[in-house]
Amino acid sequence: MSNVSVNSGKPDALESRKVVQSMETTEDKPVFQPNCDIFETEKAVIVIADMPGVLKEKLDIQLDDDQLVITGIQDMPSCECLKLVHEGCPAGIFRRTFTILADVVEEGIKATLTDGVLRIDIPKSEKPEPRKIKVEAA
């Protein structure tokens, strides 16, 4: 059984997984949701998100209890000589929230932003080995 999923709210969503996408709210400013993929290995949960044009200074990632929150601002290039013909990469404020249900090592979480792609590596904590308990007569 896998420990990673995003609950899309669709009836066929896999409910037995360990990562659930939370409801996201909007503001009075343009808000969008960057595309994200979530992967799992035996040792980690890995989040990959499209962040074209986002500077690391305008990106905030937090893990609060089991809530992974990715927020930031994607600026639109500003130049009076440019006229927008087609918008494929929306600009504005973004926010993604995921519930991480796996036990994780918070101190080991790493995030990198390379060529417009954000990668967050969330290491899982090791499960304790089962221990046999000896029953003694009273």
Q: DSSP assignment, residue 40?
A: E
pLDDT tens string 38-63? 999 989 999 999 998 899 999 999 99
* Rounded Cα gap, residues 6 and 31, in angstroms: 20
107 touches 100 (CB < 8 A): no
Average pLDDT over residues 58-81: 87
Assign domain 19-79+87-123 one CATH number from 2.40.128.90, 2.60.40.10, 2.60.40.790, 3.40.640.10.
2.60.40.790
Instruction: For residue 67, name the pLDDT band (cuts at 50, 70, 90).
Output: very high
73 touches 52 (CB < 8 A): no
DSSP string, 90-138: --EEEEEEEEE-S-B-GGG-EEEEETTEEEEEEEBPPPPPP--------
Q: Is pLDDT above 60 for 20? A: no
pTM over cut 0.85: no
The torsion angles phi and psi of 48, rounded to 5 degrees, stand at: -120, 125
* Rounded Cα gap, residues 121 and 106, in angstroms: 10
